[in-house]
Structure 1
Amino acid sequence: MPNVLQKAYKECQRFKKRCKRYALTLLRIFFNSYHQHSKMPLSRAYLNELSNLVLITGQNCSLKCKNCANFSPYLAKTMPFYPYEEICQDLQAITEECRILHLGIQGGEFFLHPNALQILEYIANNPRIQQVTIATNATIIPKDSLLAIIKQSNKIAVRLSDYGEVNYKSAQKLESVLIAHDISHYTHRYAHGDSQWRDCGGKELTRLKDKVVQKIFEECIFGKYCLSMENGFISRCSRGVIAHLVQGFSLGANDGILVRPNAKRAFATYNAQTYAHYSSGGGDMNKNYLPSFDFPTLKRFLESPAPIEACYYCYGTSGKTIPPGVQLTPEEVKSIANANQS
């Protein structure tokens, strides 16, 4: 029996040494990896995570949807595509603060962007962006160079919107191309999974009452899961980052966050008065300015139980059910163009 115990003891000691070696190896791997991010605090390099971010790359679209929740028909001509340099610099600023576990890319129609390839190359080569989905209305067949980078990245998928008769044929054609290139893809059937839109309300929607808005906000799928960035402005959803320009309300300190607030941009999408206060230091700074991006500020914004101002001009995912992708008539398109010029 003593011999058995001695053997067991020796085996335990050998196992202890092996475990120690393994632990040291793992620590060495960890710190070697961390050394690559040595300019970052440990929390930024490994702990800060953003579960989902939607990136809006411009408002130009191949369709003119009558009930577009993001008002693309009103903005397609005035801000068609944000410069890819600005887009990549904004993403760089975010990923220096945190990892993005999933990035959604949208337009307008992303595949129309003249620098779509450069945007995808940056995203594909940024290890701090883990998974990516490109949203498309399935009316555009991407160029071979785009298909190649999507395939080679091993982290980019394509989401085809289901617009029924509007894009049925083109969606079938695009799907066949994606299958031929062995690219991951799926059909998007919208917030409630029923291939139907919800009417978020149009340009002329008047400000809703507090009690109504709080209920809409608490039930809104967009507000919970569609954190979006457009032209360096982060807010609750892809409508929340742009609606103020079309519906005419002002932004306040609780309505979002500015990434690289002092950057020169090709397009002005912030409320001018709010941003002027922020830039010059004028006015009531606790009331009028949009805060600058860092991860703690973003976390506080996400944890806030209060609706943003855009919510007061939106029915969210509680709006009435409507068919997807109904197109504006030529007369309606002309009327919008005339209104934009006036």
Structure 2
Amino acid sequence: MTDDSERGHGRTGKGAAAVLRTASVAAGVAAAALLVVDFRLTGPAGRQVLAVALTAAFVSTCAGAASGLTDRLMRPAVRRARRLLAQEPDPWGPDREFFAPVRRLMLLGALQTLAGVLVLLTVYPLALWAGVRICGAAGLPARLTGTWPVFVSGLLVAAVATTASTFLALFRRRTGRAAARSLAAVLLNAAALALASLVLDGIRLDPAPGWRQALALCAAAALFMLPRITLSLPVPGIASIVLVAYHCLLLWLICAAFACADPRLHADGFWPLAGAAALMWAAEWPARLAAGRARGAAARPAPALPDPFPPDHGFPSGPLY
């Protein structure tokens, strides 16, 4: 009876996670349909909702299957490398054998990151394209044409779905604080991009209703946060310069991706782009500081408990006595 109840709870948890993941992807599909020019949903609202739900279910299933397949393929190698790392090394052996498990774990980590990037760049656009085709075959009003719009729409779906999943994680006790920090970083980046469009001449959004401009800014911030990296270098200030340069390149790519979006995000010239990247980096500083404090608190060892059986000789004891 206990085993059956545990299995039931496990299945319920997996089902709830799948529903939440599909809902997050549905938010991404809806945002992409609102922003990308060549991705349109027409007809009655009910049929549009049905098309979004069907497309989101297909994209979520494909992305989950691809991620699960890569994890399943990598899991035996990771376990083997960790087992080798846990073994006591031969002190008289060569250095190559001593550091072999560490190198293997680093290589496997790089392969896992590469697999995640491939899923992001290939599975999401292709699954979205196939999902729209399935909706069209089912008579639902969905249309997505063009290679570049398909690619950009897939990235938007992945970015907005990640942000929506972060928002849903706010309501969990274990992940609420981390989700709040991540969501604050997205909102701060969106606010900094809006400020850059107001104070910098080369950064601007095409005229559109306020809600569409806000959606475009939030989508750009979600794309900005999708390839998340952290960097620490021993020389003060160098890491910040490298991160601002990386953010500048990333913002330029986002502006290029928004060429097929409405409203379009423009960046005219290098210095306005660099200024916008610097503003976004500075605005995100509180979120990075909070994340660093959280990591430091998690890495801090627990305080030592007092000895429940102190010595009964009555004399002070310690390293100085």
Asked if TM exceeds 0.5, the reply is: no
Shorter chain as denominator, the TM-score bin is: under 0.3
Higher strand share: 1
TM-score (normalised: structure 1): 0.22
Structure-2-length-normalised TM-score: 0.23
